[in-house]
Amino acid sequence: MKLEGKVAIITGGSRGIGFAIAKSFSENGANVIITSKNSQQLEDSASQLNNTIPISADIRKEEGVRKVVEKTIEKFGKLDILVNNAGIFPKIKQLHEISEIEWNNVIDVNLSGQFRFTKFAIPYLQKTSGTIINISSDAGLKAYEGFNADAYSASKAALIVLTKCWALEYANDKIRVNCVCPGVIDTDMTKPFLTTQKDREFMDNDHPLGRIGQPEEVAKSVLFLASEDSSWTTGAILAIDGGQSTK
C-alpha cells in the first residue's frame, strides 16, 4: 500500500496507460480521480476500480480543468499526486502536409493541457509537498526516421524540458516533478499500427528487448515515482521503451 491515504488526479485515465496507472494507484491505497473528455468511457473505467471517481473534462478548456481540481479538493480536502498523462496522436504526415488546426490541436492537448492541470494543482501540491509525474514519450527523446508526427514529438520533447523546469521551480516547496518516456505500448493508440502479424513482428523486433511494452510496465514506474520509494528523485527523465531510444 505505497500510496495509502494519498489523493491523485490522473488525466486521460479512462484507458491505456492512464487506466493502468489508475489501477495501480487504487490497488496501492490511493483515492483516484480519473479525467477524460469521454464521459461514458470514463464511467465504465471507474466502475472497474476501487476508490476511483470519474470527472469528465476537456483538457483544452481552462474552466473544465479548474473544476476537476476544485471537485477533488471538495471531496478529499487535499491533492498529493498529479499524473499528466492525457494525450493524442495525430495522423502520420510530413510537416508540409500538416494543417495549422491539426498542429494546434496536438499542442493544445499534449502540452498546454499539461500546463493547465499543473497550474491549478500547484497551490494544493505546495500544501502537501506533493509530486507530479509527466507522461512524455521516447519520441520526445530523439527523432525517428519515418515517424512523421512532428507536433507529437515537439509536444513530448517540450514536456521533458518542462519537467526539469518545474522540478527546479518548485524544489523549495518539496514538490517532486519527474517524467517517464514510454516507447511503443500495447494500447488503443497503437492498434492502428499493429493491424497485422507482420506489423507486430516488425514493431517487436524494432525494440532491443524484442517486444513492445505493456501499460502495466509503465504504471509500475509511475507508482515508484509517486511513492516515497523515490523520495530523493526529482527532475528525472525515465525511458521505458525496451531500449529503443538508445539506438
- Catalytic positions are 152
Q: What single DSSP character describes residue 109?
A: I
C-alpha angle with apex 172: 167 to 174, nearest 5 degrees? 70
Closest CA to 224 of 165, 167, 172, 180: 180
Give the burial class of 244: count Cβ atoms within 10 A of its Cβ; 0-12 exposed, 13-18 middle, 19 or more buried: buried
Compute φ and ψ for 150, nearest 5 degrees.
-60, -40
C-alpha cell at 7: 489523493
C-alpha cell at 22: 489508475
Distance CA 29, CA 46 (A): 15
C-alpha cell at 23: 489501477
To which H or E segment does residue 29 belong? none
Kindly tell me the number of DSSP H helices and DSSP E strands found in the chain: 8, 7
